[in-house]
Amino acid sequence: MSEVESVESFAERSRLWLADSMPRVDPDAYIHGLGSDEAELAFVDRQRQLQRVLFDGGFAGICFPAEYGGQGLSAAHQNVFNIECVGYQMPALINVPTFVPCGAVLLEFGTEEQKQKHIPSMLKGEKLWMQFLSEPSGGSDVAGALTTAVRDGEEWLLNGSKVWTTGAWWSDMGLCLVRTNWDVPKHRGLSVFIIDIADPNIDVQRIEMLNGSREFCQEFLTDVRVPDSDRVGEVDDGWTVGRRWMFHERNAMGGGSPLVSGPGVGHGGAGSGVDPSLVITEAMGRTDDPVALDLIGESLMLRRAATELTKRVGEGMASGAVSDTSAAITRLMNGVVMARNWTIHAELAGSAAVAWESEGPLDGVGVNYLMRQSNSIAGGTVEMARNNISERVLGMPRERTLDKDVAFRDVPKGPPASR
């Protein structure tokens, strides 16, 4: 085995290669999720191409093992790459959820065959993955999944519905948590499968969000046949996989996963460029207003605090100084910081957050305010993060539940969800 390249040398090599190979960020570029379907598909296609360029250049999957097409390097290498690639177009869309959590889960629980088959095609940008996790019956109580898989020889038959899958309509593969046993307590009757979204028995429906985004989907699975070789982890032991799956998701949401590559990773949500609070203040002509200065200062302060917190928790988890459950702290921080910052932006914009010229620096501020809670909900709510911090980091008593030690079919359930 050859010696591992030093971080400094890798940074230098990344810098030269990026300048040579990757396109610079285009300020007028299309914003993911907010255009026509054609524009969205072109954007996704572009993401695949960018990922392929990274792969061919030897910069895809920096922390993925070399035997599956990655670079087999350390988190420190990934960190310097994240700094070097600021200002270049990067395929952010593929990193989450394809690499994390889906790729991360396969690395941890997949069979050798599954890893050989799927990880390289992820890293090449050929296959985009989605998480089939939440269900219409409940978002945070993921282990309460109702979608069911029934064994049929060497195959399984899947029936049910999944929701909040970002971009399932243009994705290829999915990781799907289902119930395989209704006669045991809820956490002990789950299993995880790899599914092919192109399967005609999977009906993908789009959901329109209040800001016009149609990136989220709901899927209806009707007698979907999946070979047993596409099962990840043991039968009925899917919660072991699911817990790590959600850890990886939280870690990616908090910006702490070394399997995620790109600028702004670990920077509290935003990448390079002038902070929106400054842009809005200048557009509103409020740069001499002490109230505006106070709000700008708060906004920049919160972003920086989120960045430094992510760094600290990431280093602590990498060195083993703190347990992986601490990812909930960064997840909470990113949720509350984004909510506050989008409020600050609206505050700075005043009535221009209600009515504005269609093209200009104030475009979108008001709608972002309406969407403020999105980052406090997606990827596990901040309330779940607070439960996790108090219970798993501080060791406080767990919330009492009525679904322990009772067969899942006997657990009280509400009326079937309409969606």
Binding site for other proteins (CB under 8 A): 275, 278, 281-282, 287, 290, 292-294, 296-298, 300-302, 304-306, 308-309, 311-313, 315-316, 319, 321-322, 326, 328-329, 332-333, 336, 383, 385-391, 393-394, 396-397, 399
Q: For residues 71 and 277, which CB has a smaller minimum distance to other proteins in the complex?
A: 277
How many angstroms separate the CA atoms of 144 and 194, rounded? 19
Query: Which residue, 13 or 386, is less far from other proteins as judged by CB?
Result: 386
Q: Considering the complex, state which of residue 12 and residue 298 has its C-beta at the smaller distance from other proteins.
A: 298
Q: Find the shortest distance in angstroms from Cβ 312 to other proteins.
A: 4
Nearest distance in Å: CB 310, other proteins:
8
Token pair listed for 334: 């990113």
Residue type, 343: T
CB 252 → other proteins: shortest distance, Å?
A: 18
In whole angstroms, the minimum distance from the beta carbon of 84 to other proteins comes to: 18
Neighbours of 152 (CB within 10 A): 12
In the chain, the largest separation of any two C-alpha atoms, in whole Å, equals 73
DSSP string, 116-184: HHHHHHHHTTS--EEEE--BTTBSS-GGG---EEEEETTEEEEEEEEEEEETGGG--EEEEEEES-SSS
- In degrees, rounded to 5, the angle at the alpha carbon of residue 101 between the alpha carbons of residues 380 and 209 is 50
Looking at the Cβ atoms of 54 and 309, the one nearer to other proteins is 309
Whether the upstream peptide bond of residue 200 has omega within 30° of 0, thus cis, is: no
Which is closer to other proteins, CB of 92 or CB of 279?
A: 279
User: Cβ 285 to other proteins, closest distance in Å?
Assistant: 12
- Closest by alpha carbon to 344, among 264, 286, 386, 288? 286
Nearest residue (CB) to other proteins, 94 versus 348: 348
> From the CB of 332, what's the least distance to other proteins, in Å?
5
Q: How far is CA 257 from CA 86, 97, 163, 206, 412, in A?
A: 17, 12, 24, 29, 36
In whole angstroms, the minimum distance from the beta carbon of 82 to other proteins comes to 17
Give the integer Cα–Cα distance in Å for 259 and 98: 10
**Six token digits for residue 310:** 């992510």
Closest to other proteins by CB, 211 vs 387, is: 387
Instruction: Please give the Cα distance from 241 to 248 (Å, whole number).
Output: 11
Closest to other proteins by CB, 235 or 278:
278
Joined tokens for residue 88: 């270049």
**Burial of residue 63, with CB atoms counted within 10 A of its CB: 0-12 exposed, 13-18 middle, 19 or more buried:** buried
In the complex, what is the shortest distance from the CB of residue 163 to other proteins, in angstroms, rounded to a whole number?
Answer: 26
